[in-house]
A and B are shown apart, each in its own frame.
Chain A
Amino acid sequence: MSDTPVDADEVRHVAELARVDLDEDEVEEFATQFADILEYFDALDEVPEVDREDELVNVMRPDEVREGLTQDEALSNAEETEDGYFKGPRVS
């Protein structure tokens, strides 16, 4: 068995962190499935220490102004806009 108990409360907590609401059926189903999946992920405990290759290099270009989307294009997929801005939920 996994040493990381996944109960309904834990699923609700992670869902809150991830900003995804779940209904009660989903919470129960995910708790069961996550226990199985995380137990399978425990196989990673047997991975030996490995020297990582260090071949990463930064790829930079000059920061020059160039053509981009127009304001209308950038806003074209937002459900709500106002005065050329994205409009979010009202803060009460």
Chain B
Amino acid sequence: MSLNAFITKETVESDEDGPLSEKTIAVKDNISTKGLRTTCGSAMLEDYVPPYDATVVELLKDAGATIVGKANMDEFGMGTTTETSAFGPTKNPVDESRVPGGSSGGSAAAVAAGEADLALGSDTGGSIRCPAAFCGVVGIKPTYGLVSRYGLVAYANSLEQIGPIAPTVEDAAGLLDVIAGPDERDGTTHDEGADSDYASAADGDVDGLTIGVPTELVDGADEGVEEAFWAALDELEAQGAEYREVSMPSVEKAVAAYYVIAMSEASSNLARFDGVRYGKSGGYEGNWNDAFARAREEGFGPEVKRRILLGTYALSAGYHDKYYAKAQDARAWVKQDFDAAFEDVDVLASPTMPVPPFKLGESLDDPLQMYLADANTVPVNLANLPAISVPAGETDGLPVGLQLIGKKFDEETIIRAASAVEN
């Protein structure tokens, strides 16, 4: 049976010869591909065909990669299970009764099932790491500014980064080498990553590495997940690393802060979908506001409406200081906690997801429960740090991911540590 990993299955060959020649790649459907339909998993953009390539897609083509399709995703990146896609849910190739994680679920499922050698996803609050963990593959959320966002359809600009998903740490690092670097079309990019060689950092050498374990990100995890997590740390210790527990009280507020900020930015970013320049118009006439509101009612699914409305609420007069301003305080607090932790350790480790993959349909009716599943991944986006999810065993036959978090632009250390987990 089909996993429904792709929204559009179409092959785009490259004429160039480079490090990704011979490689097939799935591109998440919120990354613009010239002449190739890009829907963001939304009925609103069902017929949208971008007239230009995202910078990362130009880089893939220059590197010789063959694009094999646009990967399924939660609508506009909003979800943890790839069930909010207007084009139907993706199934987890490890167990087809379960979700692949989200929002880059199609990308991770395509790689796990061998329908693509590599994939690009985007990670706003864990959307690369979560499906990588649930599908048993490797995903990297790069430092904010390492990879150009030009051509990524915006959901929450201050949080999101494009990153690689691959079967191994070395393959993921090699794809990151291709897409990392400054871009004059994205003013938030940095020079770091211009001449990177992350692939060669995947040498498995963790002798002398110090790993911090934030107790707040382990307490409360599913028992089987926790067992696999500690077994992976013991394995790293056997290879010469040492670990110690650290405390980061701010992360308890990270989920609330993340959703307030992401929804606020989403309410602004998605205002452009009005059915005039692009998006479905519905053909309504009369008052412009009424016509737009009806077009948006039809074009957006429930999760997108929920987030636009909550974001509008959080930014509205009377609530701005209570929600948005407080969330920014929490964001600064999370950054401080990470800075303090990294004075004593080289990397931080936690389970990527506190639970094994959900059953299809299990979480759809309770959005708050779904939001809480992102507790371990969102602090990283708030602090703009790099993190990797690497497979670390199983619980009841389902994959468990280990998350390793690094200092700003220190992708090499998390790649090195993650490659040791594979040994």
A interface vs B, CB < 8 Å?
4, 11, 14-23, 26, 30, 33-34, 36-38, 40-41, 43-53, 59, 61, 69, 73-74, 76-80, 86-92
Contact A69 B327 (CB under 8 A): no
Contact A50 B332 (CB under 8 A): yes
- CA–CA, A26 to B288, complex, Å? 23
Could you list 28 A-B pairs, sorted by A, with CB under 8 Å? Answer: A4-B322, A18-B309, A21-B293, A23-B297, A26-B302, A30-B306, A37-B367, A40-B371, A41-B260, A43-B253, A43-B256, A44-B257, A44-B329, A47-B333, A61-B184, A73-B52, A76-B51, A77-B48, A77-B51, A78-B278, A79-B280, A79-B281, A80-B281, A88-B288, A88-B291, A89-B276, A89-B291, A91-B288
Beta-carbon contacts under 8 Å, B38-73 to A: 47-49, 51-52
Contact A20 B260 (CB under 8 A): no
Least CB separation from A34: chain B residue: B310
Contact A16 B276 (CB under 8 A): no
Chain B interface size band reads 35 or more
Contact A47 B330 (CB under 8 A): yes
Least CB separation from B334: chain A residue: A50
Contact B253 A46 (CB under 8 A): yes
B interface SS class: helix
Is B6's beta carbon under 8 Å from chain A? Answer: no
A interface SS class: loop
Known A33-B368, A36-B368, A59-B187; contact A69-B333, beta-carbon cutoff 8 A: no
Which residues from chain A contact B368 at a C-beta distance below 8 Å?
Answer: 33, 36-37, 40
Which residues from chain A contact B294 at a C-beta distance below 8 Å?
Answer: 21
Contact B333 A22 (CB under 8 A): no
Contact B296 A19 (CB under 8 A): yes
- CA–CA, A69 to B49, complex, Å? 14
Known A17-B312, A88-B288, A89-B291; contact A22-B305, beta-carbon cutoff 8 A: yes
Which residues from chain A contact B330 at a C-beta distance below 8 Å?
Answer: 44, 47, 50
Is B220's beta carbon under 8 Å from chain A? Answer: no
- CA–CA, A23 to B276, complex, Å? 23
Q: How far is the CB of A34 from chain B (nearest CB, A)?
A: 7
Contact B305 A49 (CB under 8 A): no
Q: Which residue from A34, A52, A77 sits with its C-beta under 8 Å from B313?
A: A34
